[in-house]
Amino acid sequence: MSNAEYESKAYFAMSLDPIHIGTGGYRLGRVDNTIVRESGTNLPKIPGSSIEGNARTYAYYREVGNKDSKFKIPEESCALGKELNNNKPCGICPVCVSFGYTGAERTKLVNNGKGGEERISESLHGMAQFSDARILFFPVHSMIGPVWVTCPSFLKEVYEEKVEPRRKEELVISKQIGENHELKKLNLGWLYLDLDREENSPDFTNSSQFKDKFNINDEILERVVVVHDDIFEKIVNSNLEVRTSVSIDPRTGAAEEGALFTYEAIPRATILWFNVVFNQPENFNAKLMEKGQLRKAKGDDVERTIKNSFELFETLGIGGMQTRGFGRLRILNGG
C-alpha cells in the first residue's frame, strides 16, 4: 500500500450463485420480493453496506479462527462495532481498526505491553470505505449459447479502448464470436439485434487490465457483447433470475395455502466491480495490539484484513436466500 493519505482499489467479483439483496417487504409487479437497484439507471446492484457488513463479520471469523494470529483476538462486540452484552469493542484489534467502532470508554487506557499505558479513541470510523458493486458483464442466453453483455458507459470505466454501437438496434461482438460464428443478427433473450458491421470486433482477451489486473477469465472475455447504453437496462432486467417458492407445512409435508411467493436475483456468472478506499490509520492515531504490545496501525494491516475477509465470500456468501442456494461471490482480484 502506498504512503498517500488514502488509496482506492478496484475489486472485481463473479457471482457463483444467484445473489438476492432484497428491498424488504413485498411489491406489486412481476415478482413479490424485488432486489436493490440504482435509482438513476434502474440496474441491480450490491450495496456497499452489504459488502462491508459481510466483510466485517468474515474478518472477525478469520481472526477468531486463526490460532497463530499475532494480533489481539477480537471480542464479539468488535464484530458489531458497538457495545454488546455490556462488553465494549476493544478498539485495538484488526476488525476494530479496519471497520471502525464506537462506544469504547472515552480516553480508554490500554496496557501497551511496555510497562505503561496508552490512550485510545472512544470511536473510530472504518479505515476501509466500500462503494456499491455495479454490473459490468451480465450473462444472457442467446442462439450461440451464453454471452456476457455490457454497455459503453460501464465499459469505459475499465477498458482502454472505445467500443460503442452506432444505433440502439445494433450490437458489437467480440473478435472470437465473429471468428467462430457466421452471424448477421444475434438474440439476447427475447431481443433480436443487428451486428454493427462498421465497428471493429474488439479482442478483450488482449487487455492486460482484464486478464492480469482484474483476473477475469478468457471464457467470459471471448463471449462479450456490447450493446447501446439505452437498452442495457432493459436487457438486464428482462434476464434476471426469477424463482418461485412455497412454504411447507411441517405437520403435513404439503405446501401451505397462500404461501407461494416469487423473488428475483442477479444471476450466476455475473461480473461486478466495486471500489474500496483504504485510509491511512496513522492519520487517525489508530493502534493495534500485536504480540502483547501496542503499536501504530498501518495501511497494510487494513488491506490484509479486508483481503482475508473476502476469501470467505466464496463460501459463506452475501445477501438473502442463502439456504436456497443463493449468495456465493468470488472476489477475482482479492489477492
Q: What residue segments make up the domains of the chain, in order of their start? A: 6-131+268-331, 139-237
Can you tell me the distance from the alpha carbon of 327 to that of 83, in angstroms, rounded to the nearest whole number? Answer: 29
Each residue of 299-323: pLDDT tens digit? 999 999 999 999 999 999 999 888 8
**C-alpha grid cell for residue 229?**
447504453
Each residue of 98-139: pLDDT tens digit? 999 987 654 455 565 565 667 777 888 999 999 999 999 999
Rounded alpha-carbon distances, angstroms, from residue 35 to 14, 22, 47, 224, 237:
18, 4, 11, 25, 11
Each residue of 158-181: pLDDT tens digit? 888 888 888 899 999 999 998 888
Rounded alpha-carbon distances, angstroms, from residue 11 to 126, 274, 293, 329:
18, 5, 33, 12
**C-alpha grid cell for residue 98?**
479496519
Q: Which H/E stretch holds residue 14? A: strand 6-15
* More confident: 172 or 257: 172
SS (H, E, C) 271-314: EEEEEEEEECHHHHCCEEEECCEEEECCHHHHHHHHHHHHCCHH
What does 67-91 look like in DSSP terms, one character per residue?
A: TT--BPPPPHHHHHTS-BTTB---S
